[in-house]
A and B are shown apart, each in its own frame.
Chain A
Amino acid sequence: MAVSVDGVPVSTVPADTATPTATARSGPVRRARRRDLLRGLFGASAALAMTPVVAASRPPRPAPGGPAAFSFDETYRGRRIRGALTSWGPAAEAGAEWEVTVDGRPLHLMRRADGTWLSMVDHYRSYATPREAVRAAVDELGPGERLREDGPAHHTYTGGHHGLHP
């Protein structure tokens, strides 16, 4: 499935079920996606910057481990958790971007250099897969506590260099 986010075509991996996340994407999620794109576009490597566009031009490759390796959709401790790999890069580093939600609200995942994942909710250790990172985040949520609708408070980092280097 390809959707256009602010004029940039982006491929989304079909989840094993229908994907209302992609078709009925809410404003905040769109913003989160644009932020991810910006991060890529301003990233250290031009190859990485091209990733979302390149990914759009071909169907997603099957990942090792089958469909679970590029999407998930399950109920965990009463929370609907969903995730989909949205882009692939040539390098291991920053090569994969996941869009992940808990009860429909975006959870920002970050990748470590060793390939593991951490979330904004559980920020001081990392997990082998995005699904484990999301489950660990759910473990930390109190009864009735929800992620912010617009994602983490102000994560506006775009990968720029803050004028550090000319």
Chain B
Amino acid sequence: MVYIRKDVSTLTVAERRRFVNALLTIKKRGEYDEFVRIHIDHYVSDGEGGLRSAHMTPSFLPWHRRFLLDLETALRRVDPAVTVPYWDWTRDRATTAVPWTKDLLGGNGRRSDHQVTTGPFAYATGDWTIRENVTDGEFLTRDLGRAGSPIALPTASDVETALRDPVYDVAPWDSTVARGFRNRLEGWGSGSGSAAWRNHNRVHRWVGGAMLSGASVNDPVFWLHHAFVDLLWTRWQSRHREHRYLPAGPPGPGSSQYRRVVARHEKLPPWDMTPSQLDDVSRIYRYA
């Protein structure tokens, strides 16, 4: 039975409550922290050796698609009615509107230390103590819009630029490529100007705090953000039906990317699944 992932701004009061409760339940059971660890462990940068499965790589999209499915499965074990909502940051752009409300993710961090003090994920609730972190901080932090040096969320036109590119990805399949849908959406640029962080990366930066770090999964907005990124991939797929995930085959021994990226039919660590098998999710879920 295909389930629906909804725009977070359309959730009913009951749907919001059930989504939050499912998150708090898997956090209490210790399952949530495992997701934080998996994300940290699979962050391999492209200036270093080794296989990149999650970032700076073609499989950025299928990796996070499967990661979301795993989280969603855990949530649906708690409450079968729950699905992961998406946050369309091209439309819901205010720091006080959805999803930053008290009955959903809570609001911005306070000025002094960026601690989130409102909503279900505030430290004082005792329900959301951060255990897997880069720092010794135990509370969730946010700095929406980066008050110190403000940046804006990506716009619909930024997203359109990515969607328009018919090619999924191009060699050398890393953070330096200037073409291809994958990196236009993942958002690695060059230099230190505003173009240096786009779309996906820019949203991590706009939320700030925990979302900026390697332990970004600690902020539940991670899932709403990546559900929207995943939605954009489905839009790209339906717009460019003749195009597919690249590379189709693994780069050879002469390539700088030999054994460093996951080709279409290769296993995508840590799962026993290939990007090709994650191409079509229409029998699992769809976006409303």
Contact = CB atoms under 8 A, between A and B. Distances in A.
Given A44-B260, A114-B176, A153-B36, A145 B135 contact: yes
27 contacts: A39-B48, A43-B49, A44-B50, A45-B49, A94-B47, A111-B47, A112-B176, A113-B175, A114-B176, A116-B47, A118-B45, A121-B134, A124-B187, A124-B204, A142-B141, A145-B113, A148-B135, A152-B134, A153-B133, A153-B134, A154-B37, A157-B50, A159-B50, A161-B50, A161-B259, A162-B53, A164-B262
A124 B51 contact: no
A159 B41 CA distance: 11
B41 A154 contact: yes
Interface in B186-219: 187-188, 190, 192, 196-197, 201-202, 204-205, 208-209, 212-216
B242 interface: no
B250 interface: yes
A81 interface: no
Contacts of B244: none
Contact of B201 (A108, A121, A125, A139): A125
Instruction: List 8 tightest A-B contacts by C-beta distance, closest first.
Output: A43-B49, A111-B47, A110-B45, A159-B50, A142-B113, A162-B269, A124-B204, A113-B46
A128 B136 contact: no
Contact of A42 (B50, B133, B135): B50
A153 B256 contact: no
A164 B269 contact: yes
A124 B135 contact: no
A44 B46 contact: no
Interface of B: 36-37, 40-51, 53, 56, 112-115, 132-137, 141, 148, 172, 174-176, 187-188, 190, 192, 196-197, 201-202, 204-205, 208-209, 212-216, 250, 256, 258-260, 262, 266-267, 269-270
B36 A48 contact: no
Contacts of B208: 140
Given A120-B214, A123-B213, A153 B37 contact: yes
B49 A120 contact: no
A160 B197 contact: no
A156 interface: yes
Interface string A129-166: 00000000001111111111100111111111111110
- A contact residues, range: 35 or more
A112 B56 contact: yes
A113 B197 CA distance: 16
Nearest to B267: A164
Contacts of B267: 162-164
Contact of A124 (B42, B113, B197): B197
A122 interface: yes
A80 to B, nearest CB: 16
A113 B216 contact: no
Nearest to B203: A124
Contact of B214 (A40, A141, A152): A152
Contacts of A128: 192
B175 A148 contact: no
A32 B220 CA distance: 29
Contacts of A115: 47
Given A123-B214, A148-B135, A159 B47 contact: no
